Amino acid sequence: MNDANLHRWFQEAVLPNEAMLVRFIRRNWPNSDDVVDIRQDVYEHALIGAQRAIPVTPRAYLLTIARNILLNRARRAKIVSFDLVADLEELDYLAEGYDAENTLVARDQLRRAEAGLDLLPPRCREVVRLRKLEGMSTREVAAHLGVGHHTVERQLTLGMRALVDFMLGGEGRIVRKTATVPPRQEAGHE
């Protein structure tokens, strides 16, 4: 991801959650002097992670990062309340997404994945379905479809690339790489 897109994502998705993030940190950390530092650590981790892939649910992403940072700080502290660590460890509901927004986003992602699967060619769709949804091995899929395991691996690779492209907002088309063949030399023309 380029810097302009990362900056835009930070401005549009992260900063609007700042007040919520600060409230969460204050509510779960005993020393209010550390709030600004912890918030900055959360922002740093969020930006590093977003360089690899933009999170679909920024709010849950930020809260999960904050929880992990608070846990790490509590474990490293020389004197720390056992209750504080226990309370922080109970915040697992954040990682799983506990609110209606996350539920709606998850349903939307499922619908989008189904739509992406429907765009795949029939054999490719069947390979992805059998391997990823049914949990069959490559050999089992090959035997079931009557094809070689290399065909299954290739179809799975093409299908998953197209599906990921579709989930990230692309068209979800299968892109087959063609071998580059050097131009033929005519006899006597070297």
Q: Can you tell me the distance from the alpha carbon of 99 to that of 16, in angstroms, rounded to the nearest whole number?
A: 17
Residue 22, pLDDT > 90, answer: yes
Q: What is the pLDDT of residue 120?
A: 93
Find where tokens 């131009």 sit.
183
Provide mean pLDDT across the span 117-129: 92
Domain ranges of the chain: 3-98, 111-167
Residue 81, pLDDT > 90, answer: no
Residue 37, pLDDT > 80, answer: yes
User: Which region among 35-44, 49-58, 70-79, 123-132 has the lowest average model confidence (pLDDT)?
Assistant: 70-79
**pTM for the full predicted model:** 0.46
b/e for 110-128, b at 16 or more Cβ within 10 A?
Answer: eebeeebbebbeeebbbbb
Under DSSP, the state recorded for 112 is: H
Q: What is the pLDDT of residue 28?
A: 84
Give the model's confidence band at 123: pLDDT under 50 very low, under 70 low, under 90 confident, else very high: very high
CATH architecture of the region 111-167:
Orthogonal Bundle (1.10)
Q: Give pLDDT tens digits for 141-161.
A: 999 999 999 999 999 999 998
Q: What DSSP assignment string belongs to 34-72?
A: GHHHHHHHHHHHHHHHHHH---S-HHHHHHHHHHHHHHH
